[in-house]
Amino acid sequence: MNKAISEKLFPRLDESLLTHMPPFSKLAKPQIRTILDHATSRRYDTGVAIFDEGAEADRFYMLLDGYVRVVRITATGEQVTALHIPAGQLLGIAKALGRDTYPATAMTATEALVLSWPTHLWDSFVANYDGFATQTYKTVGNRVGEMNNRIVEMATQQVEQRVATALLRLINQTGRKVDIGIEIDFPITRQDLSELTATTLHTVSRLLSRWEKQGMVQSKRKRITVTDPHALVVLTDV
């Protein structure tokens, strides 16, 4: 898959890029300087793979800006969106899972600015940088927890509840306040939403059309805005 990228955007990245991000927030500026001096920076266009499922995990990444979709390929070759990752998080951390290949594909949902380091530096980051290991394994735990919650939702919730739950999760993780409500802050299609909820495109389209008539959501041009979050909460509690 072709990648539209620009390498080494800045001659010298500033330490302030990482000081507020949890894996590095406990570090002194000289430590962050060392980390950045080992990093490669790249800007990716929308809809390209940062890394591919099954490829050798030769680098690990920090998403500085943008959103990433984590995509799995099924045995029948279908693409399924597993979760979304916002800016400020590590990704491609196969080493934390005891793997030497990437377990999924990371696809940009928007333009993205990404730092990366060679995987051979992972052990020294864990050993030498306070908070890096703790935050990394917390990230892994949160993502496993989210996937487990989705498995429970698919087993126990009706389709309408699953779609409502997915929208609430997305505005909680990535929502941006606008005049009419809370907008999911990256382009998301009805197909994306159907993959997240293990249902059909037709069903998602029917639900969103109905909810739009009821004043609960607004959906247009790959943008979904929740205009009545409480109404969706009520649906999930049915």
* Within-domain flag for 200: yes
Q: Quote the pLDDT of residue 205.
A: 94
Nearest to 92 by CA among 54, 61, 47, 55: 61
Sign for the CA dihedral angle at 142, 67, 215, 180 comes to positive
pTM over 0.75: yes
Q: Are residues 133 and 184 in the same domain?
A: no
Summarised one tens digit per residue, pLDDT across range 130-167 is 889 888 888 888 888 888 887 888 788 899 999 999 99
Q: Are residues 138 and 223 in the same domain?
A: no
Pairing assessment for the beta strands 112-118 and 175-178 based on DSSP bridges: unpaired
* Within-domain flag for 152: no
* Within-domain flag for 151: no
Beta bridge partners of 67: 86
Q: Which of 94, 114, 146 represents a domain boundary (last residue)?
A: 146
Identify the domain containing residue 67 by its residue range.
5-146
Q: Are residues 127 and 180 in the same domain?
A: no
Please tell me the distance from the alpha carbon of residue 224 to that of residue 171, in angstroms, as a whole number.
10
Counted domains in the chain: 2
Q: Quote the pLDDT of residue 79.
A: 77
Q: Are 212 and 110 in contact (CB under 8 A)?
A: no
* Within-domain flag for 212: yes
Structure tokens at 175: 């929502």
> Which residue numbers in the chain have pLDDT < 70?
1-12, 238
Coil, strand or helix at 229: helix
Q: Quote the pLDDT of residue 230.
A: 95
